[in-house]
Amino acid sequence: MNRRKANTVAVVAGLVALVLPVLLALRIAHDLSVDAVSAQALTLSEDVMRRAEATADQGTAAVALLVAANDPNRCSDANIALMRKADVASSYLQSVGAVSNGRLMCSSLGSHGAGLPLGPVAYVSSKGARIRPAVRLSIAPGVRMLVLEKSGYAVLVHHDLAVDVFTGHPDVSLGTFAASSRMQITGRGRFDPRWVSAATKTGPAVRFDGDNVVAIHWSREHDFGTFAAVPARYVSQGAHRIAESLVPLGALVGVLFLIPILLLARRHTSLPSLIRSALRRRQFYLHYQPIVELATGRCVGAEALLRWQRPDGSFVRPDLFIPIAEESGLIRKVSRRVMELLRHDVTAILAAHPELTISFNLSAEDLHSLHLLDELRELLGAKNMLPRNLHVEMTERGILDTDPARKMVHAIREMGIRVAIDDFGTGFSSLSYLTTFEVDYLKIDKAFVDTLGTTAATSHVAMHIITMAKSLHLTTIAEGVETELQATILRDAGVQYAQGWLYAKAMDPAALCDFVTSSGRPRNPAAQGNAHANGAGPALAT
């Protein structure tokens, strides 16, 4: 993934990580508030239903009592006494009376002479009850009465009795409606016919239509239902209250998600800029790991390995920053710096040990650069430096069968610089390229050296590599040699050179010079002489 893409992905992922939990918190707050308001609306509607149902039951019972008495004179003293009895027995009824031609002739209050006009019937229920929702009688002009008339008798109920429940909110609408016609019978507050028109007569139901949370109950016995409508305002107020604690929690969760994303993004985005500033501030330097001749133990060369020390004293490992430099297009700058450092270091090293060979690592991109040959020429211009003193190492991956890389390797060798295949055996290429590439050395990867002398299946691989290298007339260098046993096995197998902690770790140039000196004067003058005789021949010669 390139840097820009990684940045975009990180920003998008970061935004999602932060925004999603907050949106979720808002959503949950809203849902919780709808739930709470719904429960409240259901409770209110149920309360109204309980009161309206009791009223209807008591009215039905009172009428049934009078019908059963069957007094031909419905306003007789005996019948009015019966009305009083029914009235007193009913907690919800204000009065019970007899109706004739739309006039209340008498009631539990007594005879009304010529009768009190009740006004038009608003609605006849499916059970035959004639309903007048808001009658004002001349004997109580300030009061609206709900009059339910049946079989010539009527019960009078205070219009607001059923809806006189405590709501906690002034603008909550409550009421009763006719189940068959869906007309409002009683109520307080607003009534929107749509609240009840679409409702089906099943159990209690609650719906949020965006403006109101509407709860509905249906009477089991009678032809009416009740409703309670709580305005949406209470939903948003409740959601606000819940969100006040839930959204910070969501934001916290978002930040917790964000942290690993930012850390990942930092790793992707800031290491390249750290490399850039490390180049500017000259935080890179080279250490050299000795390469010894297995037969003699003599140090014949060294591999330059890049080191990076940060201003805080910490070290960054090359196996971490080299791949990042390669990904972010900085590797050429890094390689140029390596050559610059080499140019500086080799003069002193070669002054002390003119036969030493210095290897350094190149990346795939270097081999595709038009400038590499000029840079190598400049490096060869270092004081005391001859082409035979220089080796370049490249991985199988780096030279993988591309024509430009092949030409570059050819051109490098034409300059007298030897070429080694690094980390040999770990690449994924076929071995066939070895027959088409002109290279000088194979560096057997530490992974294979590690298994030498063990029973691991891969312990044979090193042997195969050695055999193959011999048949291709390539010189082998074993990497990562840590034990005498490994050294012995390698030497017996005919491997010429080795590098590893058994001999030395990478060290600074001065330490390298001492190491070479103490690794013994040439015990094999013939080899030395040979190298000289060859003139341009490398110290690492077969």
Which residues would be at the binding site for ligand G (CB under 6 A)?
A: 289, 305-306, 317-319, 322, 338, 360-361, 363, 422-423, 446, 479-482, 499-501, 506
393 binding Mn ion? (CB under 5 A) = yes
- Determine contact, residues 282/309, Cβ cutoff 8 Å: no
The residue range among 84-92, 123-131, 420-428, 488-496 that interacts with Mn ion, by the rule CB under 5 A, is 420-428
- Determine contact, residues 91/58, Cβ cutoff 8 Å: yes
361 binding Mn ion? (CB under 5 A) = yes
Alpha-carbon separation of residue 328 from 4, 211, 242, 269 (angstroms) = 10, 56, 47, 9
| Closer by beta carbon to ligand G, 204 or else 318 | 318
The residue whose two tokens read 């003119």 is 354
| Closer by beta carbon to ligand G, 74 or else 391 | 391
The residue range among 72-80, 265-273, 358-366, 469-477 that interacts with Mn ion, by the rule CB under 5 A, is 358-366
- In the sheet that 173-178 helps form, which strands lie side by side, from edge to edge? 184-188, 173-178, 224-231, 212-218, 205-208
| Closer by beta carbon to Mn ion, 195 or else 360 | 360
Rounded Cα distance between 100 and 106, Å, is: 10
Which of ligand G, Mn ion, none binds 319 (CB below 5-8 Å, type-dependent)? ligand G
Beta strands in 219-328 (DSSP E): 224-231, 284-293, 299-309, 315-316
396 binding Mn ion? (CB under 5 A) = no
Rounded Cα distance between 30 and 228, Å, is: 20
Rounded (to 5) percent helix, strand, coil in the chain: 45, 25, 30
Nearest distance from C-beta of residue 333 to ligand G, angstroms = 12
445 binding Mn ion? (CB under 5 A) = no
How many residues bind Mn ion (CB under 5 A)? The answer is 3
Nearest distance from C-beta of residue 428 to ligand G, angstroms = 16
| Closer by beta carbon to Mn ion, 186 or else 361 | 361
Q: What is the DSSP letter of 253?
A: H
Kindly state the greatest CA–CA separation across the chain.
151
Which of Mn ion, ligand G, none binds 490 (CB below 5-8 Å, type-dependent)? none
Nearest distance from C-beta of residue 528 to ligand G, angstroms = 26
Q: Which pair of structure tokens corresponds to residue 399?
A: 């030279």
Rounded Cα distance between 96 and 148, Å, is: 10
Which of Mn ion, ligand G, none binds 398 (CB below 5-8 Å, type-dependent)? none
Rounded Cα distance between 490 and 465, Å, is: 11
Nearest distance from C-beta of residue 361 to Mn ion, angstroms = 5
| Closer by beta carbon to ligand G, 260 or else 501 | 501
Rounded Cα distance between 129 and 513, Å, is: 118
Nearest distance from C-beta of residue 469 to ligand G, angstroms = 16
CA–chain centroid gap for 212, Å, is 36
Helix (H) or strand (E) holding 200: none
Nearest distance from C-beta of residue 470 to Mn ion, angstroms = 22
Which of Mn ion, ligand G, none binds 423 (CB below 5-8 Å, type-dependent)? ligand G
422 binding Mn ion? (CB under 5 A) = yes
| Closer by beta carbon to Mn ion, 55 or else 361 | 361
* H helical segments located in 281-330: 318-327
Beta bridge partners, 421, equal: 394, 442
Nearest distance from C-beta of residue 477 to ligand G, angstroms = 9
Which of ligand G, Mn ion, none binds 479 (CB below 5-8 Å, type-dependent)? ligand G
Nearest distance from C-beta of residue 468 to ligand G, angstroms = 19
Single-letter code of the amino acid located at 170: P
| Closer by beta carbon to Mn ion, 33 or else 361 | 361
Nearest distance from C-beta of residue 482 to ligand G, angstroms = 4
Residues in contact with Mn ion by CB under 5 A are: 361, 393, 422
